[in-house]
Amino acid sequence: MRDLGFGIVDGHVHIGGPPERKGTAADILSLMREQGIERAVAFPGPGQRPDNEGLAKAIAPHRDRFAAFAWINPHQGDEAVDELERMVRHHGFRGVKFQPVLHAFQPMWPMVHAVMRRAQDLGIVALFHSGHAPYSLPWEIGEVAEAYPGVPVVMDHMGLQWMGYVDAAIRVAKRLPNVILGTTGMLFHGRILQAVREIGPDRVVFGSDAPMVHPGPEILRIRVAGLTPAEERMVLRENMLRLITP
């Protein structure tokens, strides 16, 4: 397979968690070097209260390699909104991550809107886990995206593995121009090609979910999807780079 000729931007890695996860900044940087990944969007390790401050500290020596999204639990109310603002203004974070399944909320709930309003004010990206009923269905994420058309909304996993959810994710993205589909965890390379053809190559972004998932197979799925070289570059690099560049 031909050399890409450019550095990849990985839109989904985690830094933190227990040692057996191998999720230190050094661990992730090693994977990045091995796989030709130039930059990555980092989230903290999972938890009911993800350690955004710890993430800021871990990536501080490597800001040329990492952009960060604050992983926010909206059940924390005003405290969650304040934390997001602090991470953006004091630490330069470029987005907010929502995990409706882990934190047990639906995307259209008022507490999510409170965080989204602040994201809109801050001019950052919002990323949502998608693909699990009843908390992270594509049309629910679409409802939030429609309410905040100025916020780029990454629907990560693009509906995951159930075909009806993938179809719904693509339909939502076709209807709403601020919705971007993330390839993280999408096993079916043909669906990645479908997304690029139906919503355009500028609104699909690559992510690996390292260290839980090795980036190598995730990159390969993009490369065997049947995209043109220009489309590959957009999905594997340019689209996410555009989202995280101030």
User: What CATH number has the domain bearing residue 212?
Assistant: 3.20.20.140
**Per-residue pLDDT tens over the stretch 162-213:** 879 999 999 999 999 999 999 999 999 999 999 999 999 999 999 999 999 9
pLDDT of 1 reads: 59
Answer yes or no: is 1 within a domain. Answer: no
**Per-residue pLDDT tens over the stretch 92-143:** 999 999 999 999 999 999 999 999 999 999 999 999 999 999 999 999 999 9
pLDDT higher at 3 or 209: 209
Answer yes or no: is 162 within a domain. Answer: yes
- Domain extent for 169: 69-244
Rounded distance between C-alpha atoms, residue 57 and residue 106, angstroms: 30
Q: What is the residue-averaged pLDDT of the chain?
A: 96
pLDDT of 17 reads: 85
pLDDT of 2 reads: 61
Report the amino acid identity of residue 31: L
Answer yes or no: is 21 within a domain. Answer: no
Answer yes or no: is 18 within a domain. Answer: no
**Per-residue pLDDT tens over the stretch 58-78:** 999 999 999 999 999 999 999
Q: In total, how many domains does the chain have?
A: 1
pLDDT of 186 reads: 95
To the question of pTM greater than 0.75 for the whole model, the response is yes
pLDDT of 8 reads: 98
Report the amino acid identity of residue 13: V
Answer yes or no: is 176 within a domain. Answer: yes
Answer yes or no: is 207 within a domain. Answer: yes
Residue 161 reports pLDDT greater than 80: no
Peptide bond into 177 cis (omega under 30): no
Instruction: State the SS3 of the chain.
Output: CCCCCCCEEEEEEEECCCHHHCCCHHHHHHHHHHHCEEEEEEEECCCCCCCHHHHHHHHHHHCCCEEEEEECCHHHCHHHHHHHHHHHHHHCCCEEEECHHHHCCCCCCHHHHHHHHHHHHHCCEEEEECCCCCCCCHHHHHHHHHHCCCCCEEEEHHHCCCHHHHHHHHHHHHHCCCEEEECCCCCCHHHHHHHHHHHCHHHEECCCCECCCCHHHHHHHHHCCCCCHHHHHHHHHHHHHHHHCC
18 confidence band (pLDDT: 50, 70, 90): confident
